[in-house]
Amino acid sequence: MLESRLESAPAGRRLRVARLGSGQPLVLLHGYPDNLQIWSALAPQLARHADVRAFDWPGMGESEAWPGGATPVHMAERLLTLMDHWGIDRATVVGMDMGGQPALAFAALHPERTRRLVIMNSLVLWDEATSWEIGLLRRFGWNRLLLRRLPGFVFRRALATSLPRGTVLPPDLRSDFWAAFRRREVRAFISKMCAGYQGTLPSLVALYPRIACSTLLLWGERDRHFPPTHGERLRALIPGARLEVLPSGEHWMAWHRADDVARAIQGFVDEPG
């Protein structure tokens, strides 16, 4: 588990943050139903060479919600606000799952603030095939019903479909995820976020060709939610992007294949240019 603390973010709102290492800034953006602790196996390895920041998105984990919308562009602007707050001029941004879309929007809209970009296992194309679980949650009525009435079912399905069969999270990590996800206000924000993402995904594609920084698309070969075809199509849309498919990698490969993911990201960050 990462050592984290509650900080006062802009306007005095509570934000849970983990800070590790020193060097070039590197910011980690999580998805759901997880939180910053999804990086608990990966962040310490990246922190050997970088100033790593992981945080719970406002409205998720232990962070207080911020007013306003919850589209990927809104989330990207929150990242910008936090980087300003931390005094970070430029950073390598790593996004997975629903952290991937804000990372892409941020790189496109704020090229001067993005050193490099890494996207992992994300729903980045509105018309690409996904798992049936994601297909169901993309329907706002079903999303709101399942998140409000059956959070345990959604959480258990996420655990079962994001890791290799037979692999389980350590009790403290699972407990941390569940403690936040079980809170009604967190699930209400996630439902709002899902609606915002679903409504803007088609227009988000227009931003991808504007990304000018070095970009690594790191995909799990066995991601059951967003197969590597997502990464293949995204590579064609981002100038100069490179795709690496991690053999046997599943959706939460940032945890279950942290060593391999760390090597891929560190090698990419260390490249000249």
What per-residue string of b and e applies to 160-172 under the rule 16 or more CB within 10 Å gives b? ebbbeeeeebeee
Q: Sign (positive/negative) of CA torsion 156, 245, 117, 46?
A: positive
Q: Is 90 exceeded by the pLDDT of residue 87?
A: yes
- Taking the C-alpha atoms of residue 81 and residue 59, their distance in angstroms, rounded to an integer, is 15
- Taking the C-alpha atoms of residue 38 and residue 31, their distance in angstroms, rounded to an integer, is 9
Q: Sign (positive/negative) of CA torsion 71, 74, 80, 81?
A: negative
pLDDT for res 141: 83
Q: What is the mean pLDDT of the chain?
A: 96
Residue 270: phi, psi to the nearest 5?
-80, -10
Q: How far apart are the first and last CA of the chain?
A: 33
Q: 69: helix, coil or strand?
A: coil
pLDDT tens sequence across 155-178: 999 999 999 999 999 999 999 999
Q: Is 80 exceeded by the pLDDT of residue 204?
A: yes
Q: Is 80 exceeded by the pLDDT of residue 9?
A: yes
pLDDT tens sequence across 102-114: 999 999 999 999 9
**Across residues 200-209, what is the average pLDDT?**
96
pLDDT band at residue 31 under the 50/70/90 scheme: very high
Q: In percent, how much of the chain has pLDDT > 90?
A: 95
What stretches of 51-114 show up as alpha helix (H) in DSSP?
A: 72-86, 100-109
Tokens of 132: 């049936």
- Taking the C-alpha atoms of residue 27 and residue 55, their distance in angstroms, rounded to an integer, is 8
pLDDT for res 136: 87
- The burial class, CB within 10 Å (0-12 / 13-18 / 19+), for 218 is buried
Its pTM stands at 0.97
Count of beta carbons in the 10 Å neighbourhood of residue 82: 19
pLDDT for res 205: 96
**Across residues 233-256, what is the average pLDDT?**
98
